[in-house]
Copies of this chain bind each other. A is one copy, B any other.
Amino acid sequence: MSRKAENISIVFIGAGNLATQMALAFLKQEGIDITQIYSRTEKSAKELADKCKCAYTNDILDIRNDADYYIYAVKDDALGELIDNISIDTGIHAHTAGSVPMRIFEKKRTNHGVFYPLQTFSKNKSVRFDNIPIFMEANSDEALRNLTHLAQKISSKVTTCNSTQRQAIHLAAVFCCNFTNHLFNIADNILKSNELPFEYLLPLIQETVDKLQTLSPTDAQTGPAVRYDKNVISKHLKALENMPNEQTIYELLSKNIHKTNKLTN
C-alpha cells in the first residue's frame, strides 16, 4: 500500500474479533494507515492483513518498529508475555482489555495506555464503532492526548477512566451482555422443549431494553418475583424440575429481585 508520511500508522498485535472490528473501523478513516498485523497464528494474521492490505507476521522479532501506535488486542492471558517479549520502545503502546490494569506495561519505557471499547464482538457480525464508548487511560498527558485523538477518529463517545473503574465497567458488562445472553439461551431451551420458536420472545426482549431509555432498571422491574408471588414461582420451579441448574438460577434471581425491590420501595 502507498503510505503518506503525515498519516498515523498503527500495528495491530492480535487478529481476533476485536482486532478485526477495530482495524476495519480505522481503515474507513482518512489519515490512518494500518501497516502490519501480528498474530501468533500466521493464518489469522494473513486473513486480517488481506482485509487491511498490509503486511503481516507471526514472528515477534519481525514487528516493525516505526509505527505511531501498537494496539494489543489479544486474550488477557497472553498479554503479559507479549508485552515482555516485544522490545520496541518507540510509539504508543495500548491494550484493549477491560480487566487488565495499565500497570501491566510498567516495565516498558515507552508511552503507553489503555484503549477499551465497551462492546461485544462476534465473528460474522460487524458493528458500528461511532456509538461505542471507548475508555482511555495513559501514563502521560502526551500519550492520553494522542490516544484520545486516535479514539475520536472512530467513536464520538471517548472518555477517560482509571483501571479500577474500567474493571467495574467490564464486570457490569459481563452482567448485562454475557449473562443476559445466557438467560436468552435458557429461554430458548425452554421454548425448544415445548416446540415453540425463540422469535416469539424478540418483541418482549426489545421492549425490556427500550424501557431503559425512560426508566431506571429498578423502576422497570416487573414479574412474579417483585412481590414473590409463591403461586407462580412454585409452578415455574416445578416446570424446571428437569433443568436443576436453571431451577437454582431461577430461585436465586427471584429471591434477589424480591430483596432488591423491598429495599428500594
Residues of A within 8 A of B (CB): 75-77, 99, 118-122, 124-125, 127, 131-133, 157, 161, 164-165, 167-188, 190-191, 193-196, 198, 200-209, 211-226, 229, 231-232, 235-236, 239-240, 245-246, 248-250, 252-253, 255-257, 259-260
- Most chain B beta-carbon contacts within 10 A, residue among A122, A180, A248: A180
Which 10 residue pairs are nearest across A and B when measured between Cβ atoms? A178-B223, A185-B217, A172-B187, A168-B194, A184-B217, A176-B187, A175-B187, A172-B190, A177-B208, A175-B183
- Whether B239 contacts A178 by the Cβ 8 Å rule is no
Bound Cα distance A165, B240 (Å) = 14
Task: Evaluate whether A253 and B249 lie within 8 angstroms (CB atoms) in the complex, with A168-B239, A203-B132, A239-B167 already known.
Answer: yes
- Could you say which of B224, B226, B235 contacts A167, with CB atoms under 8 Å apart? B235
Complex interface: chain B residues within 8 A of A179 (CB): 183, 223, 249-250, 253, 257
Q: Are B182 and A168 in contact (CB under 8 A)?
A: no
One of B119, B175, B196 near A165 (C-beta < 8 A): B196
Q: CB-CB < 8 A to A235: which residues of B?
A: 99, 167
Contact A203 B133 (CB under 8 A): yes
Contact of A173 among B122, B187, B256 (CB under 8 A): B187
**A216 touches which one: B177, B188, B206 (CB < 8 A)?**
B188
Q: Are B176 and A204 in contact (CB under 8 A)?
A: yes
Chain B residues with CB under 8 A of A219: 122
CB distance A188 to B217 under 8 Å? yes
A198 — which chain B residues lie within 8 A by C-beta?
212, 216-217
Query: A221 touching B185 by the CB < 8 A rule?
Result: yes
| CB–CB A180/B203 < 8 A | no
A205 and B181 contact, CB distance less than 8 A: no
Task: Give Cα A179 to B164, complex, Å.
Answer: 27
